[in-house]
Structure 1
């Protein structure tokens, strides 16, 4: 994943829906916290509307879509300005949302989207568009849903993989930004052969599996706790499926941070039941971290 810091903007896809405005408000607060610009974009997907059509689009349709996009970003700009003092840029494009947002992600700190919407971003976080974006974006993707608790913790899923290291890094940064507690969640199962027969467990003379998993989490967090000594950390290690613990902890959390693929319970998170549970039922915003191919 390309790490964008400095003045990299936070990109928000807007479509005129109330959920999109929720995403704008969340992103405005985030941009103010990081002192980075906010980029509000509306993509109508005009070229996709008539692929394979036998008749040309009505003359003026593009003008109507552009006007609608201008109205949408203006409304979003007002919402952002009312939420936080932040530098705001707007863009209206006839491009299709998926390739446009993927391209935008190459220079973004994160891409933020509402949990659902209408227009160009319809169903963005519950269907193929989200899966495509999460599979190809070059920065974290945030689904703003539920009611984030202002005083709640940041929750991160940890499975011991390299990808979860990235999730831990982002989670520590977000917790430090908010002066919030960080809850690190690690689940295990005695049916997980990779854990049962792990090399590190063998080195400790076949220590009990639960103790081994406690140690795995402690080791994963140690370096990051040294870098962020002011972040309060609570560890949760349970014999359970990850989605159960993460969904439960999303109640009363400010943010839930997860990797899009890894080992064990988080493998294929964005393609299976865990991702569906989080994207449909988490009660706080969800930040998805992915690893680009070849890294």
Structure 2
């Protein structure tokens, strides 16, 4: 087992979070990572005001017992698999706890949203807050309703726009393709057509086919750099006219994992990414991995000694 590889999963008892556990366990089985299941809950000092104007002290025993049941159910789903699973309960804002611990995790996995019961109290907006602030890649798994399962991951698509954020997303996509033995497609989108977000400022005389050819050339160079040391991975490349978020959401109906950067700045980035990751998260039909600009390999992170529920990292 790779002791330094920990996939952190936030659970709340909702079907979405249990689906995240399933995905994380399948992913961990590919490279020997450990799965750490975590349920975090906030514990206020008082509840609602009583009729006489006083406040009733909150007994957290029932809340903790419920959280323990959530964790036990999640851990039980991994039984029978050749994967090491650890777990813990944490008090605090779930999004904040997961963001803090993401600094020591290899990957964080959550469900799309809470769905009642403990879900509303424990996860809440985690699936939107964590991708924006997490310090390792976050995989957001939508609730599975019909059709084939999300694993094994056989097809991956990644959005590339020339920014540093997108370059890191591409590197992770290449690594994931290698881990899963998956096909990888890199997409660079240029919104030249009419409509919101289009490059309306382009002169009519501009050869749009040449623009796409130039973008494709840049995509080829970026992909070639990312493939260094990964000779077994083949990457298809496409430069397309269209809105990046819409194109990635469309591709999500035909692939098993979409990979995007958390934000973009520089190059074509402001035009192509912008709110792409948020748009993809809102509309994707398959799991989405959001790769932050800073991640585990950054020097500022690797030098830290972080106390975690699974040991020190």
TM-score with structure 2 setting the length: 0.78
Q: Which residue of 2 aligns with 1:248?
A: 250
Per the TM alignment, residue 32 of structure 1 is displaced from its structure 2 partner at its CA by: 1.8
Structure having the larger proportion of residues in helix: 1
Q: Deviations over 1:81-120 (max 9, x none)?
A: 24x3111111112221021111111110111101122455
Per the TM alignment, residue 292 of structure 1 is displaced from its structure 2 partner at its CA by: 4.1
- In structure 2, C-alpha distance between the alignment counterparts of 1:89 and 1:12, rounded to whole Å: 10
Q: Deviations over 1:203-259 (max 9, x none)?
A: xxx992111011011011012223212112111211111122211211231211001
- In structure 2, C-alpha distance between the alignment counterparts of 1:48 and 1:208, rounded to whole Å: 63
Structure 2 CA distance for partners of 1:207 and 1:235, relative to 1, 3 Å: closer
Long gaps (5+) in structure 2: 193-197, 301-313
Deviates more, 1:175-184 or 1:229-238: 229-238
Per the TM alignment, residue 124 of structure 1 is displaced from its structure 2 partner at its CA by: 8.7
Structure 2 CA distance for partners of 1:279 and 1:58, relative to 1, 3 Å: same
Q: Is the Cα–Cα contact under 8 Å of residues 8 and 107 in structure 1 kept in the other structure?
A: no
Give the 5 Å matches for 1:1-295: 7-47=4-44, 56-60=55-59, 62-82=60-80, 84-117=81-114, 118-119=116-117, 121-122=119-120, 128-145=125-142, 146=144, 147-148=149-150, 150=152, 152-190=154-192, 192=199, 208-262=210-264, 263=269, 264-270=271-277, 275-276=278-279, 278-292=280-294
Long gaps (5+) in structure 1: 198-205
Secondary structure at 1:108's aligned position in 2?
coil
Structure having the larger proportion of residues in strand: 2
- In structure 2, C-alpha distance between the alignment counterparts of 1:252 and 1:67, rounded to whole Å: 41
Per the TM alignment, residue 166 of structure 1 is displaced from its structure 2 partner at its CA by: 0.5
- In structure 2, C-alpha distance between the alignment counterparts of 1:218 and 1:68, rounded to whole Å: 51
Secondary structure at 2:30's aligned position in 1?
helix
Structure 2 CA distance for partners of 1:151 and 1:133, relative to 1, 3 Å: closer
- In structure 1, C-alpha distance between the alignment counterparts of 2:46 and 2:139, rounded to whole Å: 27
- In structure 2, C-alpha distance between the alignment counterparts of 1:211 and 1:6, rounded to whole Å: 44
Per the TM alignment, residue 281 of structure 1 is displaced from its structure 2 partner at its CA by: 2.4
Deviates more, 1:230-239 or 1:163-172: 230-239
Secondary structure at 1:148's aligned position in 2?
coil
Q: Is the Cα–Cα contact under 8 Å of residues 249 and 283 in structure 2 kept in the other structure?
A: yes
- Alpha-carbon RMSD: 3.1
Q: Is the Cα–Cα contact under 8 Å of residues 14 and 21 in structure 1 kept in the other structure?
A: yes
Q: Which residue of 1 aligns with 2:308?
A: none
Q: Is the Cα–Cα contact under 8 Å of residues 188 and 240 in structure 1 kept in the other structure?
A: yes
Deviates more, 1:257-266 or 1:131-140: 131-140
Q: Is the Cα–Cα contact under 8 Å of residues 250 and 282 in structure 1 kept in the other structure?
A: yes
Give the count of matched residue pairs: 275
- In structure 2, C-alpha distance between the alignment counterparts of 1:177 and 1:279, rounded to whole Å: 23
